[in-house]
């Protein structure tokens, strides 16, 4: 992770839109993770099987998605939620 990493910010607009600001490193990792997710889904549909490398890629994607600014509950198994808007 870069030393000048930005804190993820979430801004709500008045027209039901959201602006999420994250640093470029995490944005690139999310893009890469999305492509790995697509490949894993294609493999599962074609072979009815899931490779361990696909599981690792899904776990990596889950980690990178934490930088989207979601709020996690009190426990590690809790679902994430959209943060409340702050002024």
* DSSP sequence for 15-75: TS-EEEE--HHHHHHHHHHHHHHHHHHHHHHHHS---HHHHHHHHHHHHHHGGG--EE-SS
Please, which pLDDT band fits residue 73 given cuts at 50, 70 and 90? Answer: confident
The pTM score is: 0.70
Q: Could you tell me the residue ranges of all domains in the chain? A: 24-81
Backbone angles phi, psi at 10, to 5 degrees: -125, 125
Distance CA 26, CA 67 (A): 7
pLDDT digits (tens, 9 = 90+) for 21-63: 888 998 899 999 999 999 999 988 999 988 899 899 999 998 8
DSSP conformational letter for 78: S
């Amino acid at each position: 992770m870069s030393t000048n990493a930005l804190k993820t910010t979430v801004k709500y607009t008045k027209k039901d839109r959201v602006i999420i600001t994250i640093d470029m490193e995490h944005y690139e990792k999310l893009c890469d993770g999305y492509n790995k997710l697509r490949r894993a889904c294609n493999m599962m549909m074609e072979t009815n099987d899931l490779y361990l490398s696909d599981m690792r890629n899904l776990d990596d994607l889950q980690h990178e998605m934490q930088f989207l600014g979601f709020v996690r509950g009190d426990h590690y198994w809790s679902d994430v939620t959209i943060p409340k808007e702050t002024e």
